[in-house]
Amino acid sequence: MIKVGIVGGTGYTGSELLRLLALHPHVELTAITSRGDAGTPVSDMFPSLRKKVDIHFTEPEIKNLKACDLVFFATPHGVAMAQAAELLQHGIRVVDLGADFRLKDTDEFAKWYGMPHSEPEILKQAVYGLIEVNREQVKNARLVGLAGCYPTAVQLGLKPLLSAAKPLINEQSIVADCKSGVSGAGRKASVPMLFAEASESFKAYGVGGHRHLPEIEQGLRNMSQRPVQMTFTPHLVPMVRGILATIYVQLNEEGCNTDLQALYEQHYSKEFFVDVMPKGSMPDTKSVRGSNFLRLAVHRPQGRNTAVILSVIDNLVKGAAGQAVQAMNVMFDLPEHTGLEQLPMSP
C-alpha cells in the first residue's frame, strides 16, 4: 500500500483528493493536515466520507508526514516550496497541486505570484505534471509540479497541432477563450464568489494578464520547440464545476491540407483519459463532471483557415485532484486509471 498524506485537506482540491483516494485500492490515507482544524475528524467536516475516512486532521508538520511514501500539497502557492525540501530529504515523494513547481523561470514566478521562489535548486528537479505530455519523466520523478486547470485543458487541446512534424498553424496568434465554474477560485469567503454575486452572471477576468498564461506558453513552447504566443481570456460562469476552453488557431497551408479529425484521433488513440469526439461534436462540461476525462472536438468552420478546438474537463478532477492521482499511479508503476474510472455524473 502507498502511504499518502495530504497537506491542505479542507479545500476543494483537498476534499476531492480525499474522495478519490478513499476508494483507491493501493492507497492508505496516513495524514491529512489542516492548521485550523487539527484534531477534528475528517468525516465531521466532510460527511460524504463517513465510514470511508476515519482519521483526524493534524498539524501540517513534518513529524506528522514522515510515515508517508508520497505527500500531496493541495495548498496556495508558497506552502509546498516551504516544506518540500525536508520531505524529499526523508525520501518522501511530493506532488504539488499548487503553482510552486510549475514555472521553470524563477523571475516569471516572482512576477506572476508576487513572491520570490525560495527553492530554485529543488525547482530544477521538478517534473511538470501534465501526464499525457511528460509521462516518462513523471515515472521517475521525486517532485511533481502538477499542471493547472486551464493549462491542462488548453495544452491538451493544442498538443496534436504543435507536436506535428511540420508547423500546421500560426503559432504567434493562438486565442484561448476559457470558462470555469466558481470552484476554480477555491474554498474561501470572497464577495465575487457569493451566490448572489456569481449567480445569473457571466464575466471575464484577468484580461490584462492571468498567472496561468506563462505556464501555458511554457508548455506550448516545449511541445513545438518554437516561439509561441497566446491571447488567454478566462471567464467565470455560474456553475460549480467544469472548464470549457474554446481555442482558435489560424491554419497555414500545411494545416489546411491536413485532416484535423484524423490527426487528433490518431494522436490520442492510446490515451485512456482523452476522448476525441466524433466530427461535428460539441462537448459540454456535464459530460466530464466528476471524472478524470478530457473530451475534445476539432472544427474548421466553413472550411476556412481557422480551426476551433473545444476542450472540456472537470477543473477539480482532471484539472487538479484526478490528475494528481494519475501522476501518483505513474510514479508507483500502477495502471494509470487505477482509482480513476468513475463515470461522469449526469444530470
- The one catalytic residue in 68, 149, 178, 256 is 149
Where does residue 191 rank: exposed (0-12), middle (13-18), buried (19+ CB within 10 A)? exposed
Q: In whole angstroms, give the CA distance from residue 37 to residue 187.
A: 15
Decide if 304 contacts 323 (C-beta within 8 A). Answer: no
How far is 145 from 127, CA to CA, in rounded Å? Answer: 6
**Is 149 one of the annotated active-site residues of the chain?**
yes
* Helices 212-224 and 131-139, axial angle in degrees (round to 10): 80
Residues whose CB is less than 8 angstroms from the CB of residue 71 and which lie 6 or more positions away in sequence, other chains included: 4, 5, 6, 7, 31, 65, 87, 92, 93, 94, 95
Q: Is 174 left (phi over 0), alpha (psi -120 to 50) or beta?
A: beta
Q: Given the C-alpha cell 521538478, which residue does it identify?
A: 126
Let me know: does 57 contact 10? Beta carbons within 8 Å.
yes
**Residue given cell 478546438 in the structure block:** 309
Question: How far is C-alpha 275 from the chain's CA centre?
Answer: 17
Residues 233, 246: Cα–Cα separation, whole Å = 10
Would you please indicate which residues are annotated as catalytic (active-site) residues?
149
